[in-house]
Structure 1
């Protein structure tokens, strides 16, 4: 059978149609290119060609500079509309709209007019403070510099970038400002690099030299505590007079109960950032904050809002209370192990872990916070012994002495009990583990030796000092309205002295 050419063509189209349709969604529109070539002339000087004129485009491609004949060339431009910005010192900046067409070179001629008056570029910024190469700088530092301009009445503005020497993350700490100083918050023991760019009112700019400085070493602050500022609860460290104050946490959530590890390299604390109080650690400067407790096992329970935990004596683990379970966990968040279960109807709460005998003391409470008892146990949860039974009034904060032969705690001697857990007259007590040798460290009056606990206040959260010669604690009004204060006293309750105002839950290492 013979077919005409037209018939064969129709058959081929029918056969190829499915293939063509299958490929239809994968087509890619090709890019088309053209080019620009131009010249820039001096309109006030008989159209003499201008060299070193800067040409930039929008949409952005790259920048070009005219040669000695005032010419420029922009090859391989995607077809479309562009705006050219043509700029040279002492001349008015011109904007030119052009159309780039496929396969052809579009010619452009630009005439620049002299700016009114002769503007000169600003001088480079000078006289940096701190001086270039300075060391031992504070972490809250005011950067200063001097700006000048050959045009005496010119208005100058500055922008400043700052970054750590080992980082490429620049901070724009000042932007197009008349100021010649800016205050920045920095990190300890870091080298910083900063650079100032100066602009005049005509838009001319000059970048200054790159300057460097080094911040001071992290201070060996021995005190950690919690402070509420403007409704925000955060963790701070300082020396014994509140100097070298460092704010370690800055979130909008509650960070509380800080404890420095026995190895002095990490700070443990708790936070409710996840909606429940979890256990975290961080570096002593507040960096590298890490959650180590699993989300479903928080540091919570009856009256336990993130305060029920403690470091092991060697700093490798922590023990913490979560409702009726007591857990042990490695400092990196691994090795979670339940070591004890509270009596029926009770939860674990505050605890301590002593080096001597490798023992733990822990508080258990009922649904009523006043139903409190203290138990000692081995580090694996065995050998549980009740050392303080339920007493009238609220009973809190058990901790060991340095050699583990005595314990500290607080108790409301007025025996007051109400549903909100309020205390009227909490004293600090010391006793031996067998209950003997009971000493009240908070008598209301102690004669002429630095008066004892003021009436109408509570002494709370006691801990021994690192050398065992002092007790650090919190004193606050029993109406819970005035800010708490951190105090110290001798182990017999004498020589009370205030350390920090508006501070609570202290740790002293």
Structure 2
């Protein structure tokens, strides 16, 4: 009996002990962790931030206002974590107390918050204050980034002649080629680097000066994207430079050595006007305005320098005008008596003699003759022939006149020439010289001009089909069997 009582007592004591142990766990209990997640610096609430504990209990996400609540978290020590893509994870050590609420606010930075900016670009080529730099130059620089970020660059370019600033953006390499720079011009350049994270970083500013223009004595035209563009080249047909833009139709260039200027024609709306520019294509100025250049065929019209480069002579229908290169002083010089159109003019500065080519509305009934400054006819070179003629150019001493004529005599509505030859007329009575005796059959020689020393002529040779390419050639007057193709796919040459 005593043994049974003892066993009962032991069981009761054990049960009581177990009951006391469970009460202790209940006392340790559960707590709550709540708070808010905001963006560092702006305190903007952050939504969908993952909140979790380590050791793991439960996981929640912040709401649209950035608030979160972790409930029923066993009391104890934890690492509380806030995570969201694009943001730096944030950690807080916490102690959860039973039956208590703990508030934890996270301020989160972007993943790039610790990112460092790139170092300043180092300019390599051209070196600072470099001289005689080509008008097409490759800029070269180096750079490093402490975080190896992908970088983009922009190049800022300005010159000392005007206030224009050019910015070339979205460059992904550490080189950039500048084209179509002006000759004899000082430029300033700077490179800006960006990692799209930090503020852009600028290089120092370097300077360089471009070389002077080459001695290009030949000017001519070439069709580019439907527009005529004026070019220059040396006497070997090399060092070619585009002088006018492809966005405008510019043609019939004429150099003036004394002034270092080139006069030319350019389309302005429905009209054609005279312009002048420097030999490198800079400082373009319109000369004519109220009365433009006009005639039966703009591709055949020609004009002439006058008064040592201070004036220009140009045709407008049946009238010949003189105008200062400044655009002032418009004067009527001559008007045809039969109503025929003046298509070409060339003046000899030494003698004052003016050579004219006139024709009817179709380009025929050609007359080539000379007048003095008073408009009095001096000599007739060509009249009473059928077919097309033109390309007039007086020699330096005024004793000879170079011109072209279609000896086939054909006349048609599209002004197609079949056998255009070059001739030299002597005002002293010497026989007419045909320079085209070795011309390939089926071709035309057009737009002939004397070379500066008048030992050669420069001209265009092209197929008489009217659609083939034009080639600029030269020919020694003393050797008519040796034609030299100087520049291919080009027209309207001038060699001064």
TM-score, normalised relative to structure 1: 0.73
Q: Is the 8 A contact 2:295 2:301 kept in 1?
A: no
Change (3 A) 1:262 1:214: closer
* 1:215 maps onto 2:210 in alignment: yes
Name the residue aligned to 2:344: 350
Q: Does 1:439 align with 2:433?
A: yes
Counterparts in 2 of 1:435 and 1:387: CA distance versus 1, 3 Å:
farther
Deviation at residue 422 of structure 1 after TM alignment: 0.6
Structure-1 residue corresponding to 2:359:
365
- 2:151 is matched with 156
User: Residue deviations 1:399-438, cap 9 Å, x none?
Assistant: 2112111111111112222111111111101121266411
How far did residue 126 of structure 1 move?
Answer: 1.4
Write out per-residue CA displacement over residues 441-492 of structure 1, whole angstroms, 9 at most, x where no aligned residue: 001xxxxxxxx21111000111111111111111111012111111111124
Q: Of residues 365, 373, 382 in structure 1, which corresponds to 2:376?
A: 382
Superposed counterparts of 1:132-281, under 5 Å: 132-151=128-147, 153-175=148-170, 177=172, 180-281=175-276
Among 279, 285, 299, the residue aligned to 2:293? 299
Post-superposition Cα deviations, 1:347-376, rounded to whole Å, max 9, x if no partner, equal 111111113321001011012312101111
Larger Rg: 2
1:311 matches 2:298: no
Instruction: Note the C-alpha offset of 1:112.
Output: 7.0
- Counterpart CA distance in 2 for 1:328 and 1:240 is 31
Structure-1 residue corresponding to 2:461: 475
Structure 1: 5+ residue stretches without partners: 1-41, 48-90, 93-109, 444-451
Name the CA distance, whole Å, in 1 between partners of 2:237 and 2:451: 17
- Where does residue 126 of structure 1 map in the other structure? 122
1:54-133 pair list within 5 angstroms = 113=109, 115=111, 118-133=114-129
* Secondary structure, counterpart of 1:454 in structure 2: coil
Structure 2 CA distance, aligned partners of 1:317 and 1:371? 30
Flag the 1:472–1:150 CA change in 2: closer, same or farther, 3 A.
same
User: Structure 1's 365 and 171: CA in aligned 2 closer, same or farther, altered over 3 A?
Assistant: same
Aligned Cα root-mean-square deviation (Å) = 2.5
Which of 438, 443, 453 pairs up with 1:457? Answer: 443
When the two structures are aligned, how many residues end up with a matched partner? 397
Contact 1:316 1:331 in 2 (8 A): yes
Please give the TM-score of this superposition, normalised by the length of structure 2. 0.75
Query: Post-superposition shift, 1:127?
Result: 4.3
